Amino acid sequence: MQTDKIIQSLIDNKIVSINLNKPFRYASGILSPIYTDFRLTISIPTLRDMIADGLAELIKEKYPEATVIGGVATAGIPHASWVAERLNLPLIYVRAKPKDHGAGKQIEGRITKDDKVVLIDDLISTGGSVLGAVKAVRKEGVNVIGVASVFTYGLPDADKNFAAADTTLYPLLSYAQLISQGHEENKFSDEEYSRLSTWHKAPWDWTKREEQANAAK
């Protein structure tokens, strides 16, 4: 897999930004040294091709029995489409909630109870949206064998949520990979790498320390 090249392209195209001096504040209130906008990947052909190739390879390795690829609305749908094309597998997509008109479908596309579905999303933070899609597909009596994603922050809440939903997750890229590559390329000092490494393990504790440090300045 071309993970090193993908990470470099994400940084070069400002899809991923890291700033320890001015952390980003998420809607949840968490301060974070990383900001991502993975929706931009669909506008860069070379990058989206590398991602699709990587996800297809990942799914062949981790979910060789897959019979259907599913995209999680909305950001997971284009990536799922390109992966399904590469694997020559049927495609479905799953809305966040059922339509409020027509047949009221939440799942679009054709699946059967004999299918084995892999769902794809672009970004995993706590896993709430993709696990909602997993639940919707399983409610139809269809086997979701797992989830693949372009990127995961590797947050403890995600680990707990996927375990509680009895669902496996295989990401193409992770926050840990991202900062490790940056450290190896001397983009971060040892001290900066240490601070970055502690964030995804305990983001609320990290936020508290950063706020206290800023208040003391």
- Binding site for 5-phospho-alpha-D-ribose 1-diphosphate: what residues are annotated? 95, 99, 101, 121-129
Q: Which residues are annotated as a binding site for orotate?
A: 125
Alpha-carbon span 8 to 36, nearest angstrom: 14
Q: Which residues are annotated as a binding site?
A: 95, 99, 101, 121-129
Alpha-carbon span 115 to 180, nearest angstrom: 38
Give Dmax over CA atoms of the chain in angstroms: 61
Q: What is the DSSP string of 90-151?
A: -EEEE-SS--SSTT--SEES---TT-EEEEEEEEESS-HHHHHHHHHHHHTT-EEEEEEEEE
Q: What share of the chain is helix, strand, coil (3-state, %, to 5)?
A: 45, 20, 30
Tokens for 85, please give them: 């094309």
Which amino acid belongs to residue 72?
V
